[in-house]
Structure 1
Amino acid sequence: MSPSPTPVPRPEYPRPDLDRSERWLALNGTWELQPDESGTLAPDGPADLPDRLASRITVPFAWSSEASGVHEPWLATAWYRRTVTVPDGWGADRVFLCFGAVHHEARVWVNGRLLAEHVGGYLPFDVDVTDALDADRAAEIVVRVHAPLDKRDLPHGKQRSLPSDDYDSVSFSPTSGIWQSVWLEPRAATHAAAVVAGGDSLTGFDVVVHVAGPRRADARVTIAWDPEAAADAGEAVASAVAAPVPVSGSTDDDGTARLRLDTPGAAPWHPDAPVLHRLRVTTESSDGVDRVTTWAGLRRVETRDGALWLNGERLYVRGVLDQGYWPRTGMTAPSDDALRHDLELAARAGFNLVRKHIKLEEPRWLHHADRLGMLVWAEPPSPGRHSAQGAAAFEEVAAGMVRRDGSHPAIVVWGLYNEEWGYDFGLHREPVWQDELAGLVARFRALDPTRPVVDNSGWHHVDTDLVDWHCYITDLPTWAEVTAGLTNGTRGSFPVPFPSGLWHERALHVEPRRVPPGAPVLNSEYGTGHTTVDRAWAMQWQTQELRRHDAGSGYVYCELTDVEHENAGIHFADRSLKDTGGLASSDVHAPTTLVVDVLPAAPGADIDPDRWPDALPVHVSHHGTRRLTGRLRARWTRPRGTVGAGLGDGAGVVDGPAMTVEPFVLSAPVALPVPRPDGPARLLVWFEGDDGTSHARAVVDAGSIERSEER
Structure 2
Amino acid sequence: MNTPRPEYPRPHFDRSDRWLNLNGEWEFARTPDTFDETIVVPFPWEHPDSGVVAHWLPTAWYRRRIERPAEWAGERTILHFGAVHHQATVWVNGALAVEHVGGYLPFEADITELLDGGAGELVVRVDAPTDKRFIPHGKQRSMPRDDYDGCAFTPSSGIWQSVWLEPRPASYISRLDLRPTAALDGIEITLTGPSPVRIEIPGVVVREYAEWPGAVTVPIAEPRLWSPDDPQLYDVVVTAGEDVVRGYTGLRKVEWHGNNLTVNGVPTYVRGVLDQGFWPSGGHAAPTDEALRRDLELARAAGFNLVRKHIKLEDPRWLYWADRLGMLVWAEPPSTGRFSAPAVAAFEEAAAGMVARDGNHPSIVIWGGYNEEWGLDWDVPGDVAKQDAVRRVYRIIRDADPSRPIVDNSGWAHVETDLVDWHYYDESAASWAAVVDRLVNTPDGSFPVRLGPDFVVDKAIAAPGFDAADKIQLNGEYGAGSTSVERGWHLRWQTQELRRHPRNAGYIYTELYDIEHETVGIYTYDRRTKDLGGVVPSDVHAETVLIVDLAPAAPGSDLVVPAQIPAEPAAAPSADQPVIVVPVRVSHHGRDPLLGTLHWSLGDVGGSVPVDAKPFVVTDPIDIVLDPAIGRLLLWATDASGAVVARTAVDISNN
1:445-484 correspondence to structure 2 within 5 Å = 445-484=398-437
Confirm whether residue 676 of structure 1 aligns to residue 619 of structure 2: no
The 1-side partners of 2:540 and 2:383 are apart by 41
Confirm whether residue 153 of structure 1 aligns to residue 103 of structure 2: no
Equivalent pair of 1:473/1:495 in contact (CA under 8 Å): no
Shift of 1:249: 7.5
Confirm whether residue 582 of structure 1 aligns to residue 534 of structure 2: yes
Q: Which letter does structure 2 place at the counterpart of 1:179? A: W
Structure 1: runs of 5 or more not aligned: 1-5, 42-48, 212-217, 228-242, 638-650, 706-711
What residue is the counterpart of 2:367 in the other structure?
Answer: 414
The 1-side partners of 2:625 and 2:172 are apart by 70
Confirm whether residue 397 of structure 1 aligns to residue 350 of structure 2: yes
| Aligned residue pair count | 640
Q: Which letter does structure 2 place at the counterpart of 1:82? A: R
C-alpha deviations, 1:504-536, integer Å up to 9, x for none?
Answer: 110000112224x54211111000001100000
Equivalent pair of 1:194/1:403 in contact (CA under 8 Å): no
Confirm whether residue 334 of structure 1 aligns to residue 284 of structure 2: no
Structure 1 residues 118, 494: CA separation in 2 closer, same or farther (over 3 Å shift)?
Answer: same
Confirm whether residue 224 of structure 1 aligns to residue 200 of structure 2: yes
Shift of 1:80: 0.5
Q: Which letter does structure 1 place at the counterpart of 2:504? A: G
Secondary structure, counterpart of 2:100 in structure 1: strand
Structure 1 residues 248, 439: CA separation in 2 closer, same or farther (over 3 Å shift)?
Answer: farther
When normalised by structure 2's length, the TM-score is: 0.95
Confirm whether residue 21 of structure 1 aligns to residue 16 of structure 2: yes
Confirm whether residue 502 of structure 1 aligns to residue 468 of structure 2: no
Structure 2: runs of 5 or more not aligned: 564-577
The 2-side partners of 1:358 and 1:250 are apart by 41
Equivalent pair of 1:200/1:301 in contact (CA under 8 Å): no
Shift of 1:367: 0.5
What residue is the counterpart of 2:514 in the other structure?
Answer: 562
The sequence identity of aligned pairs, in percent, is 50
1:283 aligns with one of 236, 240, 250: 240
What residue is the counterpart of 1:304 in the other structure?
Answer: 257
C-alpha deviations, 1:484-508, integer Å up to 9, x for none?
Answer: 1111233211100012522111000
Q: Which letter does structure 1 place at the counterpart of 2:333? A: P
C-alpha deviations, 1:231-250, integer Å up to 9, x for none?
Answer: xxxxxxxxxxxx33425485
C-alpha deviations, 1:618-650, integer Å up to 9, x for none?
Answer: 01101111111012100024xxxxxxxxxxxxx
What residue is the counterpart of 2:651 in the other structure?
Answer: 701
Structure 1 residues 439, 694: CA separation in 2 closer, same or farther (over 3 Å shift)?
Answer: same
The 2-side partners of 1:439 and 1:584 are apart by 42
Structure 1 residues 74, 413: CA separation in 2 closer, same or farther (over 3 Å shift)?
Answer: same
Equivalent pair of 1:195/1:403 in contact (CA under 8 Å): no
What residue is the counterpart of 2:222 in the other structure?
Answer: 265
Secondary structure, counterpart of 1:598 in structure 2: coil
What residue is the counterpart of 1:691 in the other structure?
Answer: 641
C-alpha deviations, 1:75-122, integer Å up to 9, x for none?
Answer: 011110001221232341211111000011111111111110111100
What residue is the counterpart of 1:79 in the other structure?
Answer: 61
The 1-side partners of 2:248 and 2:201 are apart by 10
Shift of 1:613: 5.1
Shift of 1:664: 0.2
Shift of 1:27: 0.6
Equivalent pair of 1:154/1:390 in contact (CA under 8 Å): yes
The 1-side partners of 2:623 and 2:172 are apart by 67
Q: Which letter does structure 2 place at the counterpart of 1:554? A: G
C-alpha deviations, 1:153-175, integer Å up to 9, x for none?
Answer: 10010111111111011111111
The 1-side partners of 2:202 and 2:353 are apart by 27
The 2-side partners of 1:400 and 1:156 are apart by 15
Confirm whether residue 354 of structure 1 aligns to residue 293 of structure 2: no
Shift of 1:438: 1.3
The 2-side partners of 1:170 and 1:190 are apart by 47
Q: CA RMSD in A?
A: 1.5
Equivalent pair of 1:249/1:258 in contact (CA under 8 Å): no
1:626 aligns with one of 592, 595, 599: 592
Secondary structure, counterpart of 2:432 in structure 1: helix
The 1-side partners of 2:475 and 2:611 are apart by 30
Q: Which letter does structure 1 place at the counterpart of 2:640? A: D
When normalised by structure 1's length, the TM-score is: 0.88
Confirm whether residue 366 of structure 1 aligns to residue 325 of structure 2: no
Structure 1 residues 436, 580: CA separation in 2 closer, same or farther (over 3 Å shift)?
Answer: closer
The 2-side partners of 1:438 and 1:292 are apart by 36
Secondary structure, counterpart of 1:619 in structure 2: strand
What residue is the counterpart of 2:484 in the other structure?
Answer: 532
The 2-side partners of 1:318 and 1:190 are apart by 46
The 2-side partners of 1:435 and 1:270 are apart by 36
C-alpha deviations, 1:570-601, integer Å up to 9, x for none?
Answer: 11101011111111000000011000101111
Shift of 1:224: 2.0
C-alpha deviations, 1:202-227, integer Å up to 9, x for none?
Answer: 1111122344xxxxxx6444432122
What residue is the counterpart of 1:215 in the other structure?
Answer: none
Q: Which letter does structure 2 place at the counterpart of 1:615? A: V
Structure 1 residues 661, 506: CA separation in 2 closer, same or farther (over 3 Å shift)?
Answer: same
What residue is the counterpart of 1:237 in the other structure?
Answer: none
Shift of 1:200: 5.1
Secondary structure, counterpart of 1:451 in structure 2: coil
What residue is the counterpart of 2:78 in the other structure?
Answer: 96
What residue is the counterpart of 1:274 in the other structure?
Answer: 231
What residue is the counterpart of 2:48 in the other structure?
Answer: 66
Equivalent pair of 1:248/1:259 in contact (CA under 8 Å): no
